Structure 1
Amino acid sequence: MVTIVDTVSDRAERPRHPEKAKRPESPIQRKPDWIRVKAPGSPAWRETNQIVKEHGLVTVCEEAGCPNIGECWSKKHATFMIMGDTCTRACAFCNVRTGLPDALDAEEPRKVADAVAKLGLEHVVITSVDRDDLADGGARHFADTIEAIRRAAPATTIEILTPDFLRKPGALEVVVEARPDVFNHNLETVPSKYLTVRPGARYFHSIRLLQRVKELDPSMFTKSGIMVGLGEERNEVLQLMDDLRSADVDFLTIGQYLQPTRRHHAVMKFVTPEEFKGYEAIAYTKGFLLVSSTPLTRSSYHAGEDFARLRSARLQKLGLVSA
């Protein structure tokens, strides 16, 4: 994992996961061959890294220790994480720091937009930490960032990966009104695992949030993703697919959970590539426009290429282009 240069001097001295210190340790299993990836370090990767540092930005690629960072940054694809590097929740799977966040940086939307323009991105993914401390959960900051990117890079398509805005009335409407091209909100896991994996969230609230996006703007693409290998049963994954389709979600991603540290939730199973292919086939029969289901799939992995495929799939469904 590459460490980003922080603009706040005391961040490096804060314990990264104080809330996980009392959790029992779980040994980190050796990864199977199909999980292994090349280490980052190409010239294009270094250029992307430099632009991120120059603008004092945070990326989920680094904070979450994404295994695809070498490939994505070599293609100048980065997922920007706004509203700081500290989350107000303590999900058992996540490697992002938990604690009391700093105040919002009013200049961050402009900084992100400038970086998007310098990188020449055709498609950008913007995500954030949970900000339960803010009255709107950071919804206005999301909207400001979308609007800044539209001004700096009008040809760039924008995908957002949002928190659930739990108990923040009106927050979702603010974000949808800014008209991102793709609205992504991840379920992360099946409902039976929420108390141990995602204790601060509510499964059916997340389903309802995705459904509400479609009610507000039926033309907006919606997307959600889960991790497998957390102890879920196959039938639970299939039921989750049905729940997402009931909310008219267009795009489903399924990837392998990887344990960040011994204090995080253990990997209960490494799901085989063949099992991922099976999930993909079933998901398509349930009506998703697009499915990405591989061990290394992450929410923003190949997001630009997938957005082009998503638009094409919708046109085919409407009979406006041939398959």
Structure 2
Amino acid sequence: MRPYKPKVKAPDPELILKTDHILQQNSVTTVCKESACPNRAECYQRGTATFMILGDTCTRACSFCNVKTGRGLPPDPTEPERIATTIKELELSYVVITSVDRDDLPDYGAKHFESVVLSIRAIVSDVKIELLTPDFKADESALERIIECSVDKLAHNEETVRRLSPSIRSQSNYDRSLQVLKYYSTNFSGPVKSSLMVGLGESKKELIETMKDLLEAGVEELTIGQYLQPSSSHHPVICYYPPEFFEEMETKAVEMGFKAVASGTLVRSSYYADRQSY
């Protein structure tokens, strides 16, 4: 099946160059740049960006993800301040902080998340912060540390439906992700978000069942986007959905009770993150 090719706004070259220069100068990694996200210029123009912390090496090997697998380096104690400085220099108003999985660390990286938030708050007090976390293997001490961070939104991605989860997220777990989301929604006062990819072989019925599971876990905000295969060695795209499908899923999600939904071909978990809050 041939993919639907959406139109993407041409990026502002000066803005991209300026942003990339500041990122390089401060040795900071963004998901926006590393993944060559088609939405990054649009996000930069709105004053938003997604930063990846704790290195570029993941301890897991999900079949959809292009991040390299292995044992990462120890957390860099200078990274929190470098990220905070970058946010100030770029004059960002909304940031998403995410990371690779770090199952090799005793706390799975939770303390480093906290350090990043504290540095941001110390240098840029008025920026809004969303944490998009791994599952920390549902370790409650790690989850509690995240809850105690002074942030505006918490997120953890379920990624796919129950049937496909073992093959798509081999070292993760569908129910464990629901457990993490439930812990967040029960103990955190702000909104909780999750994201799904489609085109991996799921049925519409399975997708709706997953949306029900997310609602029962207390998720209030949802993004749905088309999966795109990073390379021939990754999980293949089984289906490219037309725009009408995403419109249908957005309408359905709102009818089911989600308070904010972004659904579209190029939608990613942090796309329009600043506008998803209700």
Cα distance, 1:62 vs. partner? 2.8
Match of 1:183 among 133, 140, 154: 154
Match for residue 296 of structure 1? 266
Alignment deviations for residues 46-101 of structure 1 (CA, whole Å, 9 cap, x no partner): 11111111110111123334222233234453210000111111111111121121
Higher mean alpha-carbon deviation, 295-304 vs 181-190, is at 295-304
How large is the Cα RMSD of the aligned pairs? 1.5
CA drift at 1:300:
1.0
Is the Cα contact below 8 Å between 1:227 and 1:257 reproduced in 2?
A: yes
Off by >4 Å, runs of 4+ in structure 1: 38-41
Give the C-alpha shift of residue 41 in structure 1: 5.5
CA contact (8 A) 2:165 2:174 kept: yes
Unpaired segments ≥5 residues, structure 1 = 1-28, 311-323
- Select 2:240's aligned residue among 270, 295, 299: 270
Corresponding letter in the other structure for 1:254: I
Contact 1:87 1:99 in 2 (8 A): yes
Per-residue deviation, 1:198: 0.7
TM-score by length of 2: 0.95
> How is 1:218-229 mapped onto 2 (pairs within 5 angstroms)?
219-229=189-199
Provide Cα deviations, 1:157-215, integer angstroms capped at 9, x if missing partner. Answer: 10011000015341000011013111010001001111211111011111111111122
Normalising to structure 1: TM-score of the pair?
A: 0.82
Contact (CA 8 Å) 2:138, 2:179: kept in 1 or not?
A: no
User: In structure 1, what is the Cα distance between the partners aligned to 2:111 and 2:203?
Assistant: 38
- One-letter amino acid matched to 2:261: V
Residue identity in the other structure for 1:175: I
Q: In the alignment, is residue 113 of structure 1 matched against residue 64 of structure 2?
A: no
Q: Is the 8 A contact 1:63 1:85 kept in 2?
A: no
Partner residue, 1:259: 229
Larger Rg: 1
Which stretch of structure 1 is more off in the superposition, 94-103 or 261-270? 94-103
Which amino acid letter does the alignment assign opposite residue 205 of structure 2? N
Report the counterpart of residue 33 of structure 1 in structure 2.
Answer: 5
Specify every segment of 5 or more residues in structure 2 that has no aligned partner in the other structure, as ranges: none
* 2: CA distance, partners of 1:97 / 1:62: 16
In the alignment, the residues of structure 2 paired with residue 169 and residue 182 of structure 1 have an alpha-carbon distance, to the nearest angstrom, of 18
Whether the 8 Å CA contact 1:64–1:94 is kept in 2: the answer is no
* CA distance in structure 2 between the aligned counterparts of 1:110 and 1:189, rounded to whole angstroms: 34
Moved more, 59-68 or 280-289: 59-68
Q: 8 Å contact 1:45–1:74 — kept in the other structure?
A: no
Aligned to 1:287: 257
| Residue 85 of structure 2 corresponds to residue 102 of structure 1 | no
Matches within 5 A, 1:1-323: 31-34=3-6, 36-37=7-8, 40=11, 42-166=13-137, 168-217=139-188, 219-307=189-277, 310=278
Aligned counterparts of 1:181 and 1:169: Cα–Cα separation in 2: 20
For 1:5, the equivalent position in structure 2 comes to: none
Quick one: distance in 2 between partners of 1:305 and 1:143? 24
